[in-house]
Structure 1
Amino acid sequence: MKYIKQGLLALLLCGMGIVTVRANGKEKTVQIKSPHKQVAVNVFVENDRLSYTVLYANEKVIDVSPLGLTVDSVDLGYKTHITGAGKFSSLNEKYSVFGNHSSVINNANEASIPCEAGGRQFNLIIRVYDDGVALRYTIPAGTKYIEGESTSWNLPESTSKIAWSGFSQSYEAFSHVTQLSEIPENQPIMGPLTFEVSGKYLSISEADCINFSDMSFMRRDHLLKAYFPFAKNGWKVEHLTDNGPAVPDGSYKGQKVSPWRTTIIAKNLNDLINSDLLTNVCPAPQQGRDFSWVKPGRCLWQWWSVGAPKFEDQANWYDAAARLKWEYYLVDDGWRDWRKDGKDQWTLLKEVIDYGKKVGVQSIVWVDSKECRNAVDRRKYLERIKALGAVGIKIDFIPDATADMMQWYAGTMEDCAELKLLLNFHGSVKPTGLRRTYPNDITREAVRGNEYQISRYSRVMPFQHYVCLPFTRLMAGPADITPVILNPEELKSKQYTWANEFAQAIVFLSPVTHFCDQYKFYLESPMFDLFQTIPTVWDETKVLSCTSMGEVVGFARRKGNTWWIGVMNGETGRMVKIPLSFLSKMTEGTLIYDTQSNTAVDREKRTLSPHDTLSVKLAPGGGFVARIGL
C-alpha cells in the first residue's frame, strides 16, 4: 500500500509539473517542471556536491552546476543529503507594474527541498516558470555568519556570445558583448549577464536582495560563480541596524533566506526583454498599502548641462518643463549652497518648489546619502523634504552594497513609501525586482549613462556600450541613464545622431525619465512636439527583428493606441528592415531619420499600414524614431 501511495503522489506531482525520482529508497534527484513543462530543473548530489541542471524544451541550457551557501565554516553544498521529496506548491496571480508592459502574470511551480550538510538542516527552494528559474536557500537555525556562496551557472559549450559589464562599485563600468572566453577569469564582473545558447537567450542575476551583500559573478572557464565583492570575508547574520518593524527582514514564509538566484530563459530577444521573473519572485506590496500616488513622467534637470543650479535661474527651468508638458523638475546638487537676502537654502528651496506648483511642475530634490545614513537622520531629512512640498528624493553617493547597506536601501524604500515620496537612488547598487514591493522606487542609476558622455569632464562613450546595456544593466530593472543629448558641442567628440539620442528615451526604461540637456535644445528642436508626448512607461513592448546584442537595438512600444519605435545603432553603419505587423490598422506616423549631419534630422509624415515594412539607413551611432497613431 505504501508504494501505491507513493505512485499516486508521483502521478499527482507530475500533473502539477513536478516529478520526484527515487533510487535505492533515498531521494537522489528531484525534478521540478514549469506550469506548461517548458522548463525543468533537476536537483541531485554528484561527487559529494549538491548540484542542478536546467532544461528548456528538453535541451540542457545550464550544465551540471554547484549549489551551496557557506555558513559558520560549513559548506551547505558539500557532502549534502537530500532528506525528503520536499513540499510542492504553485502560484498563479496577476499584478500591475510600471515597465515594458502594464500587466503581469505570475505563474510558477515551487519546491522546498529539505537537505542536510555538516549537521545543518536547510531547504533549497526552487521556483520554476515557463521563462526561467529562481532558487534560494533557507538559513539554518542558529547561523551566525555568512561566508560565501557556491551557486554557479555552468554554461554549455554551445554558448556563442555573452553580454556583461566590468567591475564597478556603482555599476558604472562599460558593458560588452563578447565571446565567453573574453571575460577575465578570477575577477568580479557585474550582472545581470545575458548569453546566447543555440539560438536561445538566458539572463542571470538576483532578486529580492534585502539583507545579503550585493552579488557579482566570477568566471572560471565555462563556470560563472556567485561572488560578494563588497563582503569578501562574509558578514554577521545579526548585523542589522534598527530600520523599523515595517521594513522587510529578508525572510520568506517565516524563514530567513538568501536572495533568489535567477535565470531567465527565452526562445528569442522579445521574450527575454519582456520577462517579469525578477519582479515575480519579489513580495507584493504590504496588504492595504496604496501606491496610486506614484506617477511616472518626464523630468527636466540642470546638472548635466550647466552644473550646479543657480537660484535665480530656477523659474526658467520650471517654465521650460511646463512648456514641454513634463511632470517633474529635479533640483540637483548645489541647492544646499543657496543663500540670499538672509534666507537659508531651505527657505529658498521651498520658494522654487512653490513656483513649480504654480506652473504645474512637481519637484524632486537631490541629497548626498551621508546626510541620511542612519534610520533616524534619514526619516527626519525625508520628512523635511516632504514638508517643503517636494514629491521625490534623489539620494546620491551611496557606500558599498554590503549587507548593512542593503538593509539601508530597504529602510529608505519603506520610509519613502510611508511619506509618499518617489525615490531615485544614484551612485547606487542595481535593483533586484523590489520595485514590485515598492513601486515608489521609481528608477535608479547604477549604470554608466550619459554622465560619461560629457565635454566638461572630457568623457566619451563608445557606440557599442549603449547597444549592450539593454542586455546587461537594464535586465535588472529601470535605469536612470539621463538620455537625449542634443547640444551640438556635446556631440562632437563622438558623433551620436539626434535620432539615436531620442531613441534612448524609448529603448532605455525609466518610469521617471530625466532628460539631460539644457532646455533650449528641446524647446527649439524639430522634435519638440514629440518630446511633449513621449511616454515613460508602456502597455506593450516588442523587440524588433533587427536587434542584435552589442550591434543594434530596436524596440516598438505601445502606450494606449500609439506606438513608438526607437532604434539605436552601434559601431557599424547598416540598413535595417522594420515590419509594422504589430499595427492593428492603417494610421498616420511621424518618422525621424538620420541625415548627413549628426545634429539634424530628416522628418517625414506618412500613412502606414500593418503590411508595410520600413527600410531605415543607420549611421554609426545613428538611430531612428517613429510615433505611429494618435
Structure 2
Amino acid sequence: MNKLLALFGVAGLLVSCNQQETVTLSVTSPGKINTIDFQLSANGELFYLISHNDKQIIDASSMSFDIKNQEPLKDNLKILGSEKKAVHKTWEMPWGEQREVVNAYNEMLVELEEDKAPHRKINLYFRAYDDGIGFRYEFLPQQGVDSLVITDENTEFQLTEDYMTWWIPGDWDIYEHLYNTTKISEIDATTKRNNPNLAQTYIPENAVNTPVTMRGNDGIHLSFHEANLTDYAGMTLKVDNKNLKLTSELVGSDRLGYKVKRALPFKTPWRTIQIADKATELIDSKLIVNLNEPNKIGDVSWFKPKKYVGIWWEMHIGKSTWDYAGSQDMNTFSKDLKPTGKHGATTENTKKYIDFAAKNGITGVLVEGWNTGWEHWIGFEDREGVFDFVTPYPDYNLEEINQYAKDRGVEIIMHHETSAAPRTYEQQLDTAYQLMHKLGIHSVKTGYVGKIIPKGEYHHGQWMVNHYRKVLETGAKYQVAINAHEPIKDTGIRRTYPNAIAREGLRGQEFNAWSADGGNPPEHLPIVAFTRMLAGPIDFTPGVFEIGLPTMEDNHISTTLAQQLALYVVVYSPVQMACDLPENYEGQPAFQFIRDVGVDWDQTVVLNGEVGDFVTIARKERETGDWFVGGITDENKREISIDFNFLDEGVTYEAVVYKDAEDAHYSTNPTAISIENMEINRETSLSLSLAEGGGFAISLIQKK
C-alpha cells in the first residue's frame, strides 16, 4: 500500500531576473479539488494562490524572509527547475482516532536561486491534498555561511472575503484563552492582554494563534495551522483587519534577539490550510499528521491507551494541596518540613484511588504533588533547582505505591511540574526517566506553569520548541510517553514520535473550578472541536459529576452531566481522565459509560456539527469492535437525529443511551439525566433532545 504511484517529471525552467512577465507553476490535488498556483513575478518576487473547486480562496500572497546580516530574501529570484510527483500511501497509527490513514497528495518542488550575489538558493515544496494544502521552505547551503538567523518570516495569506473566525490571541506563552467569534476585520487580540486567570501571558501585537478556523459566506471552512514544528519558532498570524490579510509572525526570543537560528541546510515547518465544504470535514482531515515524517522511534507497544483517575481535581476545588508544608517561607529542601494535613499525594490517599481504579476497570492513576518542591514553585522569580523529580515527600512511598498499583493491574502516571524552569528539568531528565523505566512507569504528565526561565524566552519560541522535543526524545529512550501541559502546540509530531500521546494547549476543565470569569461557557467545547482539536489529542480531563462545585462559592460547570459523558467521545485523547473525586462516582448509574467507553479507535465518523454550536462523533473501538457516540451542544437546546448506517452490517448492538432529562439545564438542573436501554442496528434512526449546555452519550456493545 505504501507505494509511490508516479513521478511526473522534471522541467528545467530557466527564467532570468529581467523577464517581462509572471511565470506560473501549478499543482492540483488528486481529486482535482484544491489547486496551488506558484508565481514568480517579473522582478523575481514569490507569490502563491489557492483555489478550491475553481473558486479562489487565497489571492496572490507574497513569501519572503528577513535575515540578520543579509539582504532580505524576497526578490531577484529565478527558477532553476521544478518537478512534480504523486504519492498515495497508507500508514497505520499505533494508536489514534483511526487505525489506517491514507496519505494522498500531489507535490511540486520549485528550485530557486538569486540572480545576483551571493546567489542564495531556496527550494519551495507545495503539496495539494483533497482536504487542504501545505507548503514549506528549504534553505540550501551558502558559500562561507554555516547558519542563518531569521529575524522575520513574511508568509502572507491574502483572504478573499471577511470570514467569520474563531480565534484566540497570538500569545507567545499560553493557549489558555477563551475563543472569540468575530469577522477577520473585527479581530483585536490586544484587548486580551490583561487576563487575571493566567500565570503567564504575552501578546505583543494583533495576532492570532493557530489553529484558527474560518467560515465563508458560501459555507466553505478554512483552518490555518502548521505541521512538523521542528527546531523553529512557533508561528502566530498577524492580522491586517483592513486588507483581510494574515502574515506569519514567529515567536521571538528577547534574550537572543531573533526568531530562528538554524544551521544550513534546513527546512521550515509546513504552513497549512485545511479546506472543507462543511465543518465536519475539518475533523475528518488528517492533513496535519500526514505532513509529518513516519515513526522514528519504532515499537511503542509499551504504551497502552488508557483511562485514568488521580489526585488532581481535589486540589483545584480546594479539598487538598499540592505542597506538603503549606508555607511559602519554608525551606523546600529541609528535612524538618511540618505537614499541614492537607497534602493530597499521600500513600494512603493514593491507595484509595488505586483501589477505585482497579474496581472499575480503569488502568491509570495520576498523582500530582508527590515530589519535593511545591512550596516554592510559583510566584518566585528564582525557580531554578526547586523541583526534585526523583525525591518524594515524606508521606509518599513511591516504591510501595507503584507495587500496590501493579498488583491490582493499575499503572501509576508520573507527574513532573517544571515551574517553567526547563534547564532544571533537563539536568534531571535522564535520572527521572531512568527511575520511571526501572519502576515500569510508562507515561508522565509534564507542566510548565509560569514565565520561562531564563528571562526573555517564551513557551512557544525556538528554544522551548527544542526543549519539548528533547523531552520527547529522552522519553522514547526510556519508554516514557509524554502528556504535556503548558505545551508547544500540537503540529502532528505524534506521527514521528508516537510517545507524544496528548497535551493540553487550551483552556481546560480546571478553569471551571477557580477562574475569575466563572468558567468555560457552553460554546467553548463546540468551538474547540473545530479549532484546537484539529491539531491533535487533548488532555481536557472530562467526567465531573459534582457539576455544582459545592466547594467553590461562585463557579459551576456549564454543561449537563450527559455532556460530561459525551466528551469522552467528542474530545479525542488516548488518555482520558475520569477527573472527579471517587466518592462522587459511587452509586451513580451514569458512571457505567465511563467504565465502558473506549480510548483507542479503529474508525471515527463525524455525524454532524457546526463550529461553536454542536457536534456529534461516533468512534469504533479497536479491540472490541464496539461503537460509542457522543454529541454536545452550546447554550441552545436542539434536536439531533442520528442515522446508524455507519454500524457494521448484520450486527445488532445492545445500546445504552445516556441523555439529558426533560428538565435538564446546564445552570439550573445539570445532573438530570435519563438512561435508556435498547437494541440498535445500522437500519435504526434515533432522535434526541439536547438541553441547553447538554449532550448525549451512547454505548453500542455487540450483542452476543
Asked if Structure 1 and Structure 2 have the same fold, meaning a TM-score greater than 0.5 normalized by the shorter chain, the answer is: yes
Q: Is 1:187–1:218's contact at 8 Å kept on the other side of the alignment?
A: yes
RMSD: 2.9
Q: Is structure 2 residue 624 aligned with structure 1 residue 552? A: no
Selected match of 2:158 from 154, 160, 165: 154
- Report if aligned partners of 2:30, 2:106 keep a CA contact under 8 Å in 1: yes
Residues 263-321 of structure 1 deviation map (CA, whole Å, 9 limit, x = unaligned): 1122333332121111111111227x222222111011121234432312111000111
The unaligned stretches of length 5 or more in structure 1 are 1-12, 240-250
C-alpha separation in 2, matches of 1:544 and 1:74: 52
2:258 aligns with 234
Match of 2:385 in 1: none
Aligned-pair CA distance for 1:20: 9.8
Matching residue of 1:202? 222
Give the corresponding residue for 1:191: 210
Question: Which whole-Å CA distance do the structure 2 matches of 1:75 and 1:205 have between them?
Answer: 28
The alignment status of 1:330 with 2:366, answered yes or no, reads yes
Q: Aligned partners of 2:503 and 2:442: how far apart in 1?
A: 16
Determine whether 1:53 maps to 2:45. Answer: no
Q: How far, CA to CA, are the matches of 1:441 and 1:150 in structure 2?
A: 30
Unpaired runs of at least 5, structure 2: 190-204, 323-343, 375-390, 453-458, 664-668
SS of alignment partner, residue 523 of structure 2: helix
Do the aligned partners of 1:371 and 1:378 also contact (CA within 8 Å) in 2? no
After the TM superposition, which of the residue ranges 126-135 and 408-417 deviates more from structure 2? Answer: 126-135
AA partner of residue 202 (structure 1): L
Equivalents in 2 of 1:469, 1:401: separation in Å?
20
Q: Residues 47 and 25 of structure 1: is their aligned pair in 2 closer, same or farther, counting only changes over 3 Å? A: closer
Equivalent-residue separation in structure 1 for 2:363 and 2:239 (angstroms): 44
Q: 1:57 to 1:236 in 2, by over 3 A?
A: closer
1:96 touches 1:102 (CA, 8 Å); kept in 2? yes
Q: How does 1:173-192 map to 2 (within 5 A)?
A: 173-184=177-188, 186-192=205-211
Pairwise CA distance, 1:91: 2.8
Q: Check the 8 A contact 1:207/1:262 in 2, yes or no.
A: yes
User: Residue 8 of structure 1 aligns with which residue?
Assistant: none
Q: How much does 1:29 deviate?
A: 1.0
Report the equivalent of 2:130.
130
1:284 equivalent to 2:347? Answer no
Q: Is it true that 1:409 corresponds to 2:468 in the alignment?
A: yes
Distance 1:262-1:59 versus aligned 2 partners, 3 A rule: same
Q: Residue type of the partner of 2:593?
A: L
* Range with greater deviation from structure 2 (210-219 or 553-562): 553-562
Counterpart secondary structure, 1:516? coil
For residues 178 and 607 of structure 1, do their structure 2 counterparts lie closer, same or farther at Cα, with a shift above 3 Å needed? farther
How far the C-alpha of 1:26 sits from its partner, in A, is 8.4
Could you tell me the TM-score, scaled by structure 2's length?
Answer: 0.79
The correspondence of residues 551-590 of structure 1 with structure 2, limited to 5 A, is 551-560=613-622, 561-584=625-648, 585=650, 586-590=652-656
- The one-letter code sitting in structure 2 at the alignment partner of 1:616 is L
CA distance in 2, matches of 1:479, 1:206: 17
SS at match of 2:47: strand
Question: Which residue, 93, 101, 105 being the options, matches 1:104?
Answer: 101
Q: How far apart in 1 are the matches of 2:596 and 2:12?
A: 54
After the TM superposition, which residues 231-270 of structure 1 pair with which residues of structure 2 at under 5 Å, given as runs?
A: 231=253, 233-235=257-259, 237=261, 255-270=265-280
* Corresponding residue SS for 1:629: strand
User: Residues 433-464 of structure 1: CA distance to partner in whole angstroms, max 9, x if unpaired?
Assistant: 11001111100111101011115877411111
- Amino-acid identity (%): 26
CA distance in 2, matches of 1:385, 1:434: 23
Deviates more, 1:418-427 or 1:176-185: 176-185
CA contact (8 A) 1:17 1:37 kept: no
Q: Deviations over 1:402-436 (max 9, x none)?
A: 21211111111111111001111111121111100
2:355 counterpart residue number: 319
CA drift of 1:223 comes to: 1.0
1:377 aligns with 2:387: no
Maintained 8 Å contact 1:177/1:468 = no
- Name the SS of the counterpart of 1:620 in structure 2: coil
Cα deviation for residue 130 of structure 1 reads 1.9
List per-residue Cα deviations over 1:80-138 (Å, max 9, x = no partner).
42423313333332222233212111122222211234742111111222222111111
* Contact preservation (8 Å) 1:20, 1:29: no
Instruction: Report SS of the residue matched to 1:67.
Output: strand
The CA deviation at 1:385 is 2.9
Give the alignment partner of residue 164 of structure 1, picking from 153, 161, 167. Answer: 167
Residues 458 and 39 of structure 1: is their aligned pair in 2 closer, same or farther, counting only changes over 3 Å?
closer
Equivalent residue for 1:390?
441
Q: Which moved more, 1:584-593 or 1:567-576?
A: 584-593
* CA deviations over 1:5-39 (Å, ceiling 9, x no partner): xxxxxxxx999499999997988111112233322
Q: Which residue does the alignment assign to 1:540?
A: 603
Q: Which residue of 2 aligns with 1:509?
A: 572
Once residues 215 and 76 of structure 2 are traced to their aligned partners in structure 1, the CA distance between those partners, rounded to angstroms, is 32
CA distances 1:585-626 after superposition (whole Å, capped 9, x unpaired): 443311111122311310111122433332222222111111
Residue 496 (structure 1) shift: 1.6
Q: Which amino acid aligns with 1:234?
A: Y
Matches of 1:626 and 1:258, distance apart in 2: 43
> Which stretches of structure 1, 4 residues or longer, exceed 6 Å deviation after superposition?
17-27
1:50-74 C-alpha deviation (Å, 9 max, x unpaired):
1111122222122221222322365
1:511-553 alpha-carbon deviations (Å, 9 max, x no partner): 11122211222343212222112112322222223x1111112
SS in 2 for 1:553: strand
Q: Distance between the aligned counterparts of 2:227 and 2:359, measured in 1? A: 39
Q: In 2, Cα distance between the equivalents of 1:456 and 1:53?
A: 43
Q: What is the correspondence of 1:1-16 to structure 2 with a 5 Å cutoff?
A: 16=8
Deviation at 1:145, TM superposition (A): 0.6
Match status 1:449 vs 2:469: no
Match of 2:345 in 1: 310
Distance verdict in 2 for CA 1:612–1:67, change over 3 Å:
same
Deviation of residue 344 (structure 1)?
5.4
The residue aligned with 1:5 is none
From the superposition, tell whether residues 128 and 28 of structure 1 become closer, same or farther in structure 2 (CA, over 3 Å).
same
> Among 142, 145, 149, which residue is 1:145 paired with?
149
Aligned to 1:88: 84
What CA distance in whole angstroms lies between the structure 2 residues aligned with 1:87 and 1:571? Answer: 51
What SS does the aligned partner of 1:404 have? Answer: helix
Q: Is the CA contact 1:337–1:345 (under 8 Å) kept in the aligned structure 2?
A: no
Q: Which moved more, 1:509-518 or 1:303-312?
A: 303-312
Question: Aligned letter for 1:115?
Answer: L
> Which residue of 58, 61, 68 maps to 1:65?
61
Give the secondary structure class of the aligned counterpart of 1:544.
Answer: strand
From 660, 665, 673, the counterpart of 1:594: 660
CA distance in 2, matches of 1:574, 1:47: 56
Query: Which whole-Å CA distance do the structure 2 matches of 1:42 and 1:458 have between them?
Result: 46
Q: Which residue of 2 aligns with 1:246?
A: none
2:412 is aligned to: 363
Q: Is 1:350 aligned to residue 399 of structure 2?
A: yes
For the 8 Å contact 2:232–2:461, the answer to whether it is kept is: yes
Q: Indicate the SS of the match to 2:358.
A: helix
CA contact (8 A) 1:335 1:345 kept: no
Q: 1:115-174 CA deviation, whole Å, 9 max, x = no partner?
A: 2347421111112222221111112433431111111222222x5422222344221111
Structure 2 match to 1:603: 675
